[in-house]
């Protein structure tokens, strides 16, 4: 219920209340908040990627097919904990859209963006609750790797125009995201 409530409030804010609230207001300047937020997202993504590699893919998981370890062994519990942290990361990423609303960046709020930010918390909650481990960890590892790059870009973009000359690689982020989606599916 808490996750469903958070998603409900998120959707209500992004699709209804937030745009009405911002209708006659100037966009908020969230530069410092965005730098800190994106830095935290980079750190979380690095940790999730490292945890997936160290607890699973470098050590004991098969790259071909890996079933869920239903035991309460320390290894299985470590991976289950990482799945739960991945779910919490997806909840925290809902702030991406909230910041778009508060900055009046409505063009950034596409159907695909909303779909991704609504479905990922649901999928990651289900994985954390019912299938915490196995080959599903591969998707989380790939997602975390892409998010390291993506949130690094967002952080640098939020740091101001003096950093924009270093952001020539923006066009490759979407290509990377699509390549990872195609590769995983």
Catalytic residues: 116
CA–CA gap between residue 126 and residue 83 (Å, rounded): 10
Length of the chain: 185
Q: How far apart are CA 150 and CA 8, in angstroms?
A: 26
Q: Do 157 and 105 contact (CB within 8 A), yes or no?
A: no
CA separation (Å) from 7 to 19, 36, 37, 159?
Answer: 17, 23, 19, 29
- Tally helices (H) and strands (E) across the chain: 8, 0
The contacts of residue 104 (CB under 8 Å, 6+ apart) are: 22, 27
């Amino acid at each position: 219920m808490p996750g469903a409530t958070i998603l409900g409030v998120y959707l209500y804010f992004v699709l209804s209340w937030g745009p009405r609230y911002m209708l006659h207001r100037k966009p908020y300047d969230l530069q410092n908040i965005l730098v800190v937020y994106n830095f935290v997202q980079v750190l979380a993504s690095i940790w999730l990627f490292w945890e997936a590699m160290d607890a699973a893919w470098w050590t004991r998981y098969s790259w071909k097919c890996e079933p869920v370890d239903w035991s309460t062994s320390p290894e299985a519990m470590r991976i289950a904990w990482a799945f739960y942290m991945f779910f919490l990361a997806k909840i925290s990423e809902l702030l991406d859209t909230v910041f778009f609303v508060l900055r009046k960046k409505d063009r950034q709020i596409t159907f695909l963006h909303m779909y991704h930010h609504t479905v990922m918390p649901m999928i990651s909650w289900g994985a954390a609750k019912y299938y915490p481990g196995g080959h599903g960890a591969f998707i989380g590892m790939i997602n975390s790797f892409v998010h390291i790059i993506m949130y690094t870009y967002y952080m640098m973009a939020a740091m101001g125009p003096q950093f924009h000359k270093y952001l020539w690689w923006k066009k490759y982020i979407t290509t990377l995201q699509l390549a990872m989606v195609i590769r995983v599916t």
